[in-house]
Each structure stands twice: as structure tokens, then as C-alpha cells.
Structure 1
Amino acid sequence: MTITRDLIAARNLDFARTMELEYSGDPLALDGASISMQVRLYGRAPGAPLAEHLGIEFTDASHESEAGWRVLSVFPHIDKAVLVAMPTGLNQPEVGEADRYSYEMKLTYADGAQDRLWIGTFFLEPGVDNT
């Protein structure tokens, strides 16, 4: 069920997205489940993540127009202050280009089983407007 999708954030704004995963069949067993997201320099990078959101809010509902399908909506958020503090220049971008990191969003069921929902590159642009 893993989706590979690159995400784009900017250092001058909170990162806040609505991500939707459509799936067919019975509803997932989400009672007592949690969703988390970590951003690291690269996959399996040692130490603490550069950014993370534990306990991401989510909803799971029937699809509006497709019978037998459901939509898992996930609402990750990373504060601007965390993004500003992330290291820059590690991937040697040109001036004004985005820094490149890796992220993973994981669903942990009440019984401890896990599914990777989204993975990919987390691009962090410098941003322009500092108002």
C-alpha cells in the first residue's frame, strides 16, 4: 500500500498538507492506530530525525463516488521553526535551490503491525516572502 510521492516545503511557512490514500475493500482497523512522519537526511540516517510529527490526525471514510472504495485522509504538519532549523547545503544545491531529504509516513496499528503509507523525497525550498 506504499505510495512514493515527493513533498515540497519551504523554510518560510509551516508544512501542512492533506494527503489522501484511496483503497478498496473493508475499512482498515484504525481503532487505537497512530500515524507518524519523519524527515531525515537520507533513509536510515542515524540519530534523531531532522523533523517529525507523531500522532498525525487522520480520518477514514467511504469514497464519495466509488462504491467499495475508501479514503484515508492524513494531515501532517511541521512547524516553520523546525524547517528553518534544518541543515542546509548538505546536498550541495545551487544558491536558491531546494535542499533534499527523505521522509516516511508510517501507520502503526493497535496490535503493533505497521504499514508504510508514503515515502519519497522531501524538498525544502528556501522560500521568498518572509512577512
Structure 2
Amino acid sequence: MKGQISRSNDDTIHGLKNRELSSLKKLHDNYVYSMSGVVALVVTDEETRNRILDWTFIKAWHEVENYESSQTSVFIWLLRISMKVMAEHMEVPLLEMQKRVYHAYRELKAKEEKKN
């Protein structure tokens, strides 16, 4: 399965680099749910979350030439882009946004562990 995901991601990134809109749709469809969860850790307003998600994928489209599969996964690449977009939107330094996401994630995990 992992090999299939990797191959699929490689095809998607290749398509993005060739400016294929169908590849942007595929990237969006494959990752929007995960990215939405990350953004929701920090952004409570649904309209703002959707705007941030839109800009995350637009930036991915424009920055795809900088993506190197040997350096990072597609998920981590998109995560970094989404944090940059959130930082810009909320007008806070990127490091501050990274800390907010990290602490919100840790808090969520602690709540889940208490349930179990």
C-alpha cells in the first residue's frame, strides 16, 4: 500500500509540475481532510479555515517546483505551507504559528488519552 501511495503522490507532483489542473484536484482531494484537521486546531471560524485551505493548495500549486520527494513527504510539505498561510493570515511569526499548532495538537492528544 505504501508503495502505491508513494507512486500516486509522485504522479500527482509530476502532474502539478506540468501544470495539470487535474493533479491539483487530486492533491486537494487526497489531503484536504487532513489539512482541515490541522487548520482546525488553531482556527475556529469555518469561513477562515476554508480560506486558509484554499490558499494552502494555491500556494502548493505555485511552489511545487520547490518540492523534493527525497527531502519530505507531500503531507509535511502541505503542512508547512498551511502553517505559513495561517501565520500570514493571523499576522503572527511563523515560529509562533508552529508552536500554536504543536501545543494544540499535544492538548488534543492529552484529551484523547484521558478518554481511554
Q: TM-score normalised to the size of structure 1? A: 0.25
Bigger radius of gyration, 1 or 2? 1
Q: TM-score normalised to the size of structure 2? A: 0.27
More strand by share: 1
Higher RCO (CA < 8 A, seq sep 6+): 1
